[in-house]
Structure 1
């Protein structure tokens, strides 16, 4: 759909998109495709399980392990 037509019929275009249609936008005399208006799809975010490895592993440091804050943060 050319830009001018989209501007003229914007409300109708949005209603089409709201109902599930995808609308391509054409620009210039050559009517080159430059954009698409697509329906918004709300993503469902899954809850992450906290502590999935709780009790399944341990972390041990050797008694002689030493690290400065600068080494930890890789500051030179």
Structure 2
């Protein structure tokens, strides 16, 4: 398979090679997940008063 790829690469005009490089490079980067740095902090916005209301008993039982 590698030989087939190399054969195909040899037929690509030199002025198209930067485009092909970008395609291969971004494809390869997508194969290995890169961890995203976490930025701890508070969420922006406000909570309504309903956030602090107790949950109904039926919903609490679903968590048990």
If each structure's helix is expressed as a fraction of its own residues, which one has the higher value? 2
Instruction: Give the TM interval when normalised to the shorter protein.
Output: under 0.3
Q: Which of the pair has more CA radius of gyration? A: 1
Q: Which has the higher contact order (CA 8 A, sep 6+)?
A: 1
